[in-house]
Structure 1
């Protein structure tokens, strides 16, 4: 192995632990150039270059080395963007008025979506099986590589069990093991990657923080009055604040004064 290849490998080994953080920075738009990536990661320019090259080789990002526009100061920095033909995640949502499945790429782009249905069975296993089947059909139609699946449900989801404590609007039994059921259906459909289930407003808050109204903010309060009831979620210092058992900010089910106004 020549000296240049050895140096490149050494730089990548030093920055390998930064691959995940680097991808998140590009994925959320906080590192549009290699110079910004270098500063955000706190590594050398060479290490950041090796990390960006590895992410590009994995098909996750695109590195544009064309020089900056005329008149710019300093050495031009390579531009970074997510690979719009890269892997996707299966995103599913179940609510009182139906369900929906979609494939979402890096950067939050919706690649494909299924219209879902307008009637939700009282059997969570049946509903989750249908929504996963819809997602599997989307994957087959697009031919994209799937790296995981996520499910949003209109219920507090207890941690670490992943049970839906109060799926009142779905007529599902309290304590339904939705995370276990969803993961089993995902595996049975041949979809690779981890499967996660969470409260719909919590997941909406994370999405708004990364790609929407809260982008660039350190903290975010989200209050949802969507399909039925009131939901809340809180992002503190870039992380979802869910409490010790996943029930923080369940504002729609909090009694402040038993004798107060409704």
Structure 2
């Protein structure tokens, strides 16, 4: 960034250093604004960050130098807009990616996803789930590692969505009822080890599939621009819930908030995998609807 830093004779920090710190501190928030589509121009970025036009311009220039965004060199004005035209901002098409994997009742899916939520590459879907979580997660990571080798893209992180409540901070799958995994499987540790073994040297995080779907909808889908989002979803099996409050996923004290699938809606209803009867999980999931 085009800032300078200097110290006064008594060792104090000069105003130029303060400007440097403020500018660099804006890099993350600025990238998030462009990443989620909330700052399509440099003028909007200036307003959203609450900084001067010069600082916003320097932040955009550094993000471009890092290969994360593009800045249109020619200012454009929206149709009917008043005031000075602004430079358009967009995500760099050849920027870094993350490895995203999802395990579900009928197999797994793997993709490389870039900034802006753009899918860069996908691997062929797997249609079976091994009873050993280490084997299926290892296969998914191996497929992702092959995508990285094929595309040559820089990977910054990896995420794994699983069909189970995931306890925090342990990262264990408490009740993987729709896959034949043991209760309490250490999916976070398994995922981390598989990334290391596959030579994908990035940090990895695991989470419940509906929690992660809610975050995606809030940032890039139906909930974009909203402060709060309630998500109740059903996929291959079961029903799950998630809640985003003020832009942050609400998981409760141990990561188990909004596990709505085992709310009993019909005490005399279908037998559930959890041992109860009439849970939302088995009364309204795709299998139940097909059997109705």
Aligned residues: 259
Of the two structures, which has the highest relative contact order with CA contacts closer than 8 Å and spacing of 6 or more? 1
Q: 2:25 matched to which residue of 1? A: 17
Q: Determine the C-alpha separation between the residues in 1 that align with 2:217 and 2:188.
A: 23
The reply on whether 1:66 has 2:64 as its aligned counterpart is: no
| Distance 1:171-1:68 versus aligned 2 partners, 3 A rule | same
Q: 1:76 matched to which residue of 2? A: 85
Q: Determine the C-alpha separation between the residues in 2 that align with 1:203 and 1:89.
A: 14
Which aligned pairs between 1:140-219 and structure 2 lie closer than 5 A? 140-219=149-228
The alignment's TM-score, normalised by the length of structure 2, stands at: 0.84
Structure with greater Cα Rg: 2
1:243 to 237, 242, 252: 252
RMSD over aligned Cα, in angstroms? 2.0
Q: Determine the C-alpha separation between the residues in 1 that align with 2:173 and 2:80.
A: 57
Structure 2: state its 5+ residue gaps: 6-15, 270-276, 279-292
Q: 2:4 matched to which residue of 1? A: 6
Structure 1: state its 5+ residue gaps: none
Cα distance, 1:71 vs. partner? Answer: 6.8
Cα distance, 1:11 vs. partner? Answer: 4.2
The alignment's TM-score, normalised by the length of structure 1, stands at: 0.93
Q: Determine the C-alpha separation between the residues in 2 that align with 1:110 and 1:237.
A: 26
Choose 20-29 or 8-17, whichever is displaced more: 8-17
Contact in 2 for aligned 1:97/1:118 (Cα 8 Å): yes
| Distance 1:71-1:232 versus aligned 2 partners, 3 A rule | closer
Q: Determine the C-alpha separation between the residues in 1 that align with 2:92 and 2:20.
A: 20
Q: Determine the C-alpha separation between the residues in 2 that align with 1:201 and 1:136.
A: 25
